[in-house]
Amino acid sequence: MQYIDLTQTFVSEMPVFPGDPKPTLQQVAFLEKDSFNDHMLSTAMHVGTHMDAPLHMIDGGKKIDELDIHNFFGSGVLIDARGKATVDSTVLEGVDIPEGAVVLIFTGFGSKFHDSEYFEKSPAVTEDFAQAMVTHKVKIVGMDTSGPDHDQPWPTHKVLLGSGITILENLCNLDKLTDIKDFEVIALPAKLQADAAPTRVVAKIIK
Q: What is the pLDDT of residues 26-46, one digit of tens each?
A: 999 999 999 999 999 999 999
pLDDT in tens, 52-96: 999 999 999 999 999 999 999 999 999 999 999 999 999 999 999
Residue 160 to residue 131: CA distance in whole angstroms: 8
Based on the number of CB atoms within 10 Å of its own CB, is 79 exposed (0-12), middle (13-18) or buried (19 or more)?
buried
Give the model's pLDDT for residue 116: 86
pTM for the model stands at: 0.96
The answer to whether residue 207 scores a pLDDT higher than 80 is: no
Residue 93 to residue 129: CA distance in whole angstroms: 11
Residue 205 to residue 116: CA distance in whole angstroms: 32
CA proximity to 79, closest of 154, 145, 149, 157: 145
Q: Where are the domains of the chain?
A: 2-205
The CATH number of the domain covering residues in 2-205: 3.50.30.50
The answer to whether residue 150 scores a pLDDT higher than 90 is: no
Distance (Å) of CA 98 to CA 91, 148, 200: 16, 21, 23
Which residues are paired to 79 by β-bridges? 105
